[in-house]
Amino acid sequence: MWWYYEMDRQNVLELSLRFLRIASIIIGVSERNRIMKNKNKKSNPNRIKCQITGVERISNKTYLANKGEKNGVTGNVWASFYVSKPAFNELVEHVSDFGFKSTCAKYEIDNDRLKKWLRFNGRGSFVKIAKNIQLDVEENTAHAVQVSVEDAAVALELATAEIERTKEQLIDKNETSDRDRKLARRRELYAEKKRTALSA
C-alpha cells in the first residue's frame, strides 16, 4: 500500500510539474505577445502625449491643425506642448495659488514652457496673462543690446554730453521765455498807455 501512496505522490509531482511547464509556456507566450504587440505598435503621427503625466491619446490631423492655427503655430508644435485637462487644471490651480516661479520649480521647467502650456491648452485669464508676458518679453528682447565695458564707457560719455547740451538748451529756452515775457509785458503797458491817452 505504501507503494500506491508513493505512486500517487509521484503522479501528483509529475502532474504539478506538467502544470507548471504549461503555465509557464502560457505566461511566456502571453508575455511575448504583449511585448510583440508593443513592439509592433505603429507610431501614429496623430498620437499626442501629455507633457506632465505622460498619458497618450489618439487625435486626428484636423484637430491638431485647428489647434495649431488657433495658437499661431503648426499642429506638431502645438502637440509638443499638449497638456491633458486634469493635469492642466492642476497646473492652473498651482499657478494661481503659488505663482509662476514656484510652478516652474515644481514641474522643473523654464518660464517659456510654462507660458506655452498655459497659452496652448487654456482658455481663461492665464492665457491672456501668458500672452501679455510673451509680448513684454518679446518687446524687451527686441530692445536689448549687448554692450562691452568699453562701449558702455563711451555710451556714458555720450549720454553725459547730451545731458549737458539739453541743460544748456533749457537754460537758453528759459532765458528766451523770460525775455519774451518781459517784452509782452512792455507791449501790454504800451497798449494800455495808448488807450488811456486816447480816452483822455
Residue 62 binned pLDDT confidence (cut-offs 50, 70, 90): very high
Give the number of domains in the chain.
2
Distance CA 164, CA 160 (A): 6
Tell me: do 60 and 108 sit in the same domain: yes
Distance CA 55, CA 61 (A): 19
pTM of the model: 0.46
The DSSP symbol for 139 reads: H
Tell me: do 175 and 103 sit in the same domain: no
pLDDT in tens, 106-144: 999 998 898 889 888 877 656 556 555 555 555 555 555
Tell me: do 56 and 137 sit in the same domain: yes
Residue 21 lies in a domain: no
Strands (DSSP E) contained in the chain are: 47-49, 56-58
Residue 114 lies in a domain: yes
Query: Residue 92: which domain range?
Result: 47-143
Distance CA 40, CA 47 (A): 15
Tell me: do 80 and 55 sit in the same domain: yes
Tell me: do 134 and 158 sit in the same domain: no
Cell of 148: 562691452
